[in-house]
Structure 1
């Protein structure tokens, strides 16, 4: 079956949640208004529209026989929109919420999620108690799946987009359904609360067991969704909001036991889709790093950006913002999905679509260079799925003032920080889960494992073979010390590969890294000791070469020789203590194994960079990268400012192949808050890139302008050196390589 999502770059989502007290719902949405809106969408270049059938409050927007229709619904909103869109030749996608409703407390209280104290939970962000449905209950089979089938049979949509589903299945439920099912699957009672924090979780096996079991309910739920939809309309494509992201891994469970972690392509979805920027935040960063993962999944994928500053309002951002976001989406191989919100009576703002038409014209000029293209692998960043969900968070775990820094800590900071620093350095990279990395190891020039605490044995074995056959590897921190179920391994699984053995955690919450003479010589400030917050480990060398040492803080910071956490004394305003003189472990090592090399970095440096953006951390990471994978060996080298992003794509053509190098400008205004705006783009001049190819290009063009660029060919290095004279917002350098 042809997946039409691949060729659909300009979708629209209409967000239409209506509380029960709202009056005149769809009151202005007559047949004439529906046709006017559909014509407006067509004129704005929109190819597919997602519209509501069933919302977070549990209201249907059509005459449903199963779900309560909104009490103030004046028109068949869903039906009129479906008909008008088809008349204009626009694809239709139905939106249905899954696990929230304000009506079930009265009708089926036995289906609701129950807290440990016996009260019933609020669903998602609803301001209503007793509005969260439990995945363990009969709700799916008796209510929701029939509702899905009713909507699909009635409107025969091209796609279904499920929201409020998998991303709500995360927190404990103590309903009788969960108690019985958990006991049947595991033979145990539900663990008693409170739920432990992330830094204690791996020491509480009963909670690890519960979390695996709970997330294991998601795959059967998704399978039921897909079967129900395909059973009545095989051609309808299915997406489930936020599934398929590296931070939302799904385990396959059998009778309470982990079988394996599922890759996104095993979930059975037709495409991956998410609204990843909920309340402002940084669209370009989020689209970039999530796209660099979903590019490896083998599925089509899209991301929503929106007209407003945050969901649930009617503000309008600059179309320059929208263009940069859409350009980022295209660069990482995704498709666009713009979000708007109708007024309660169903009307829309025409001015939004006048602006959106400019954005979609911009996209249309560029999307032709995305058809058939894929992001090129070179450097792999491992995002172990269990490591995003279990284990300690990144960065400083204690000792530092808790108010330091603007961002809350997360396990994903390690992967996010790796992608950020590689983007700033202009290093071509993708993000892989373990199973996908194992399948693609032979295509990687360097693999980075940024403190992925939980890893599968098979991955470690194959990485060892990869290095022995000439691969390059960087491992940081506590990577692999636990297995994929959160069980601590008795021995260091990377000992042979790294040429050292990692031991116990060092007692202090921060240390200093002191570069050896050779490494220091490569740095501008190599004589400065690098302050590194977070856990460091004792090390014992067994063949590795030490490039830098871990220096403990001054001894006086401890109240006693016991050096327990309670003995730590707060030193400066935010808790730092100066460096002492005692070398406690190796900070950076390099080990040759077979034909390849493995580097170890004893800390959480990538996460610290994400949280702090410190230039000295970037200098250390850049110099260590140069030791592991010299820039002269890379597929592409770029001279650019830090804020410019580069993404390299490739596609086959009838005459040969093309390399498509995307450059994205980024110049956010100064803001004290969370919302990021890129409205006034400052042009960048003098960007240069050197691309290694197997043959000399026939031509190199700037697209979509079709302008011939100046370039030279270094035959000895088999490298095309291209000069990009000026970057406004987005540029594509197209290297045409005919046979």
Structure 2
């Protein structure tokens, strides 16, 4: 049966469990008939299943790299067989930059902080990790398991300023200098260098897998979202992110607004549970429907994340998932790939976002992101349709197109592009 590309997909399910190297019993209670019954009830367009979490151990029997201690059954093979029978696409949940075991076995692959301390978690994007491990694993999943694509986790939000030998050599080759530390002149330029190193790393793994499997689709979790509010320059096939399990409706409506104009198929993932006092508490159906609504109302796809300990599907939750899917499908014809007509535009300046930033990407703790988010909510809660205009969105609009916005809001920022400033002044002079 034909399977949908991500650009055609509306509803998905996500299962991962970040297997540890000493984990046992993977697949022992996983039955193909249960997977099949769940797929028949929910009918997703695609599934994302666990292949490798941040610990670095694969949950399938890999010929490349390092697998968990005990794999009783090949759950990846089960998922592929059951999804293929039904024409449902299958994507891997696979950790990228963050790979503990890769570093444990190959210490020279680690990123290093400015104190000279190697990370035990984060690989260097300037090192051989892509060519030696990540790329070959993607090829393995594409060719040996016939997967349709991958959702790379632990990527842009995990990458760190890097002083490893790999990074220092690359920086010296480009500038003829040693990398500056955070209190030294030129640090902002060094961070930009590291950001470009990350982009180049993503391009490398895309190139490796697509050379062997051209139709294999790739997303780097949170790249080109609020975490990296910039123009899409990498050949990613879709944009995606899993938003916070708490305050989820607000986070979802903000993140969706950031993606509307990015020019790529996009979706957002709800966590199907909260985490309170260390316990996973399954969300109710109304909560999940609210989260889905604010995503699909802005034209995006929606997926939801379900706990999957040792690869086992939670049968008792299938009726909840079935009703959630029905809620989404009832609105698919109207919502999917629809374009919002906004009355208010909120300016999200790329220069402002990166100004004096101490990490590479991510919106966590960023005052600019907080101001943009608050401005969006203020407009929406006063009954205005609003969307986010990143710098490249704003600059791509003609003066007549910009005039269609009854209001543009520029949150409090410490820096802004000269071109964006000029565009906003022209908008105001024209009566905006």
Normalised by the length of structure 1, the TM-score is 0.54
What does the per-residue CA deviation read over 1:334-391, in whole Å, with 9 as the maximum and x for residues that have no partner? 11111012122x2222121111111111111111111352111332211011312324
Residue number among 291, 298, 308 corresponding to 1:332 in the alignment = 298
Measured after TM superposition, the shift of residue 269 of structure 1 is 1.4
Q: How far apart in 2 are the matches of 1:94 and 1:6?
A: 17
Q: How far apart in 2 are the matches of 1:283 and 1:19?
A: 28
Residue in 1 that maps onto 2:370: 413
Tell me which protein shows more helix as a share of its residues.
2
Residue in 1 that maps onto 2:361: none
Contact 1:381 1:449 in 2 (8 A): yes
- Using a 3 Å threshold, how does the CA distance of structure 1 residues 105 and 374 change in structure 2: closer, same or farther? closer
Contact 2:180 2:187 in 1 (8 A): yes
Residue number among 322, 346, 369 corresponding to 1:381 in the alignment = 346
Q: How far apart in 2 are the matches of 1:179 and 1:137?
A: 11
Residue in 1 that maps onto 2:116: 118
Residue in 2 that maps onto 1:222: 202
**Correspondences of 1:479-558 after superposition (within 5 Å):** none
Residue number among 184, 187, 196 corresponding to 1:207 in the alignment = 187
Structure number with higher relative contact order (C-alpha < 8 Å, ≥ 6 residues apart): 2
Residue number among 228, 231, 237 corresponding to 1:263 in the alignment = 231
Residue in 2 that maps onto 1:627: none
Contact 2:301 2:336 in 1 (8 A): no
**1:180 corresponds to 2:189:** no
**1:352 corresponds to 2:317:** yes
Q: How far apart in 2 are the matches of 1:392 and 1:206?
A: 13
Q: Secondary structure at the match of 2:273?
A: coil
- Using a 3 Å threshold, how does the CA distance of structure 1 residues 205 and 382 change in structure 2: closer, same or farther? farther
**1:443 corresponds to 2:401:** yes
Q: How far apart in 2 are the matches of 1:378 and 1:135?
A: 41
Normalised by the length of structure 2, the TM-score is 0.90
- Using a 3 Å threshold, how does the CA distance of structure 1 residues 105 and 90 change in structure 2: closer, same or farther? closer
Contact 2:41 2:322 in 1 (8 A): yes
Q: Secondary structure at the match of 1:267?
A: coil
Q: Please say which of residues 326-335 and 34-43 is displaced more in the overlay.
A: 34-43
- Using a 3 Å threshold, how does the CA distance of structure 1 residues 438 and 153 change in structure 2: closer, same or farther? same
Q: How far apart in 1 are the matches of 2:295 and 2:156?
A: 23
Contact 2:300 2:336 in 1 (8 A): no
Q: How far apart in 1 are the matches of 2:425 and 2:301?
A: 36
Residue number among 36, 41, 44 corresponding to 1:43 in the alignment = 41
Q: Secondary structure at the match of 1:227?
A: helix
Q: How far apart in 2 are the matches of 1:15 and 1:313?
A: 17
- Using a 3 Å threshold, how does the CA distance of structure 1 residues 229 and 471 change in structure 2: closer, same or farther? farther
Measured after TM superposition, the shift of residue 61 of structure 1 is 2.6
Residue in 2 that maps onto 1:685: none
Q: How far apart in 1 are the matches of 2:7 and 2:357?
A: 38
Larger-gyration structure (1/2):
1
In the alignment of these two chains, the number of paired residues is 420
Residue in 2 that maps onto 1:371: 336
Q: Secondary structure at the match of 2:29?
A: coil
Measured after TM superposition, the shift of residue 41 of structure 1 is 2.2
Q: How far apart in 2 are the matches of 1:175 and 1:106?
A: 16
Please, which runs of 5 or more residues in structure 1 have no aligned partner?
A: 122-129, 197-203, 250-261, 394-406, 473-739
**1:322 corresponds to 2:288:** yes
Please, which runs of 5 or more residues in structure 2 have no aligned partner?
A: 359-363
**Correspondences of 1:524-603 after superposition (within 5 Å):** none
- Using a 3 Å threshold, how does the CA distance of structure 1 residues 392 and 66 change in structure 2: closer, same or farther? closer
Tell me which protein shows more strand as a share of its residues.
1
Alignment RMSD: 2.3
Contact 2:34 2:313 in 1 (8 A): no
- Using a 3 Å threshold, how does the CA distance of structure 1 residues 281 and 67 change in structure 2: closer, same or farther? same
Q: How far apart in 1 are the matches of 2:366 and 2:79?
A: 43
Q: Secondary structure at the match of 1:65?
A: coil
Contact 1:322 1:359 in 2 (8 A): yes
Q: How far apart in 1 are the matches of 2:302 and 2:312?
A: 23
- Using a 3 Å threshold, how does the CA distance of structure 1 residues 420 and 361 change in structure 2: closer, same or farther? same
